[in-house]
Every structure is written in C-alpha cells, then in structure tokens.
Structure 1
Amino acid sequence: MPIIADPWFWGLAIPAVLLTGITKAGFASGAGNSMVPLMSLVIPAPQAAGIALPLLCAMDIASLKAWWGKWSVAQLWIIMPGGLLGVAIGAAIFGFLPDAAVKLMVGAIALIFLARSLWQGRPGRVAPPPATSSRAKGAFWGMMSGLTSTIAHAGGPPLAVYLYPLRLDRAALAATTVVFFGVVNYVKLVPYFLLGQLSLTNILTSLCLLPLVPVGVRMGIWLQGRMSDKVFYRIVYVMLAVSGTKLVYDGMKGLL
C-alpha cells in the first residue's frame, strides 16, 4: 500500500503536524514536538520518526526565514559539534532498537519533558540568575539533543537544559535553536535513508501531510497576541501526557 490508510493515523497526524508547525513559528516554542508521540500510538515509532523528518525539514526552512541572522554564533560553535556527534550515536543505536524500545524511549522523553515543564512553571518559582556559557555543558547537552532528536525528534528538552539558563534574548534563543535543529534535521536525512526510514510509503505519507506545514506556521503567527501561551501549553501537555503514558505502557509490555 503506497500510503498509510488507517483513519486513526490521520486523525492523530493532522493535529500533530499543525501543533508542531504552530510552535515552529515561534508561538509557545517550548511546547515541544508532538508528532512522533501521537503518530506512534497507531504505527511503529521508527516509522513515525521517518514520516516526521521531511515535515520537520520543511518547517525548518520556514523558521529560518523568520529568524534569519538573529542567532548566537558563539553558542552555535559550542553546541553544534556535540549535536552532530549525537546524531551519529543515535543513528548507530536506532538501527538496533526494537519498536517496543523506541516507543518506551519516546514515551519516557515526552513524560520527562512534561514533568520538567510543569515543575519550572510552578507557582512561586523564583528564576535563578543567568548562567555562564560553558563549552563542556554545551557540548554534552548538544550531544544529548542530537541523540534524542535522531531517535524520536525530541531534542528540544536537552538543548533547553543548556540554553534556557543563559537567558539569551527571545530572538537569539529562538534563532539559535532553529539553526541547530535545522542543521541536525538535514544531517539526519542521511542515516534515516540508510536505515530505510525514508521508504516510499513514508515519503508519500509525508507529502500528503506537507500542505499542513505552512498552515501550521501561519496559524502560529496568527495566534501571536490572540491566544495565551498558557492555554496552548495546556492543550499540548494533555496530549503529551496521554500519548506518553500509552507509549511507555506499550513499550514496557512489548519488552517484558
């Protein structure tokens, strides 16, 4: 069959692509990537990652245009080498992991991201002073980001552990993140192709979802000033909680 015919897949994939496109436009950019966790509820997690990658690459192009020239060159020099190393490690691991293990990792990453976000947003939390730049920390968290990005397109949380405490201005933070994942995602095309994740079925399914990318990005731009980040976060967090819990359960069930 050339494309996925399961209606449950499309019922989850369409809102997942739109939500991710909205965040890629800079609106509620800390909400994370919900595509792989949601798609993995009905198809194998590696296949979900393969379908999502071309869509993320398309979103990266739109995001780069919006944030062109505003990135921190100094921070990119710190985090990018580790990110590329993480891609290589992730590619080596990816080929040996069974679907159940990938589902467990995707679900765990989603739940850890959710728990961290809720903890940092707790009432009464006092923000610490800005952290100082560190090559060692940047290289390590860049590597972890490249690794988790390769396995599940979930590199945002590890990178945020390093970048957010630096308190870069919003434009520099967004642009630096966009450039990092733009490079990482396009590099990932090589191992994904070699691992068979860019199959004809996956590519055709991605192409069917591709028109939603500019729609999601435009929705993100339109929502600026019309919807609070808090409301959007709640929607995404509920979806991540449900999908993450289900994936952890399925992954543990498949491994035990």
Structure 2
Amino acid sequence: MRAIILLLTILLAGCVTGTAPDAGPGVGASASVGPASPQAHGQAQAQTQADGSVRLVTRVQDLLALLGHDPGGADGIAGPATRSAMARAAADLRIPVPEEPDFRFARALEAAVTDRVRTAQRQLAVRGYDPGAADGQLGPRTRRALARYRADNGLPNGPAIVADWPEPEREAKPVQPEAPARDPAPPGPLTPGRRITVLLPGETEGRVLTVADDGTVEVPGMGTVQAAGRHASEIEKDIAVGMLDRYIATLVGAVRVDVLPP
C-alpha cells in the first residue's frame, strides 16, 4: 500500500509541473533570442557590398553611354562590352583604366559628362534651342532641347550627348538701305522748288526736303537752313555745325545732303 501511495504522489507532481503538448515554453525554459551568429552577420555584410558594387557599375555604364561609349546596357555587370567601353573612355579622357569600375573612374566620367553637357547647352542656345542655363546638369529642359536638335538635324536618337557641333549658320545681316544716288552733275547752286534729301545721324533713310520760295529748307530738329544759291556740300557742313551741341563726336561726314533730279 505504501508503494502505491508513493507512485501516485510522483505522478501527481508530474502533472502539476509539466506543460501541455501545445503550450509554449514554461517560465524556466531557455527561449532567449541572442545576437546573430558571426556567419549571418558576414553574409549580410557581403550582400551589402555586392549591392553597392552593382550600383557603382550601373552608374559607370550610364555615364559611358552619355559619353557615347556603348557599354551594352546598364545591368550592373562589368562584362566585355562594359570593359571595352571603359577602355575607350579612358583613352579619350587620357586617364588610366581600372581593372574594375571604381569610384575614381566614376568621378572622372561624371566630370567629363558635366563639361559635355555645359558645352551642349551653350551650343543649343546659340542655335535657337532653349536648354536653360549652362549649368552642366542634364535636366528635362536640356534633354528636350537635345531631342529637338537631333530631330531637326537627322541625328539618331540615343543617350549620348552630342559632341560634334558644326559652325552654326550665321543669320543674314539686315541689308542697309543704299543712300540715294548723287546727282552726277549738279547744274549749279540750288534754287527754290529744288528737292534734296537730308540724311541725319542715326537715321537709315533720307528725308526729302524742298527748297522754299525764301530759299530755305526746314531741317527736322534743327530749323531752317539757307539752301538757295548754295551747293549740297555747303548745306551738309551747316547742318553738321548746327547739330554739334547735341553730339560729342564731329558730324562732318555723318550728315549727307543729295540733290534729286528735277
């Protein structure tokens, strides 16, 4: 009987201190969450470095394409096409080509792209396109101006920034009106009723004036000038002298008087 009682006591104690099959760990269970293992930390660090390397290669590929050296796409993999483009860019820029894309090489490409964009912006502005300020930034405004320039000049569309800029066509200068032909052989001094043209400084066309009955002509901005009995060259000098107080430079030669045919 004593043995039976002892066995029952042991079984009841086990029921009190045990845990249900579907229950979590008890109070005394060791379910602590400690720091990651060295192996997991190393794997995370390696993944971060790999992501940074992919981003760097992609950036170098984008810059190479802008400079006109096709890297075969921006996939983040430094394959044969990318390495060939790197070698061509390094030769053009006269810089060493690295074995693998690195930050120094990327910065050299970025500086070259900035210079080429700034040149393109200036050239586009000269040609009447509107790229915005020449700040070296390849923004939407500059991209649109480049696209219009390519379309207008039959250039293929692509990421490369235009590098060859032929001499822009000069706008035709406005044709200056020819001065009225001088009377080849003036018959003599002017007489009332004779017409003359007076070209004043800053004007492009001469004014037609008629010698009045009193022998004078009315010069705009100056007043009457005696014309009858005198030659055109004498009237020119009178007008020039009379207008000297309004001009610093001498007006001799800047005033022109011509006699028109009767």
TM-score range (shorter-chain normalised) is under 0.3
Higher helix share: 1
TM-score relative to the length of structure 1: 0.22
Larger Rg over CA atoms: 2
TM-score, scaled to structure 2: 0.22
Structure with the bigger RCO (C-alpha within 8 Å, sep 6+) is 1
- Flag the structure with higher strand content: 2
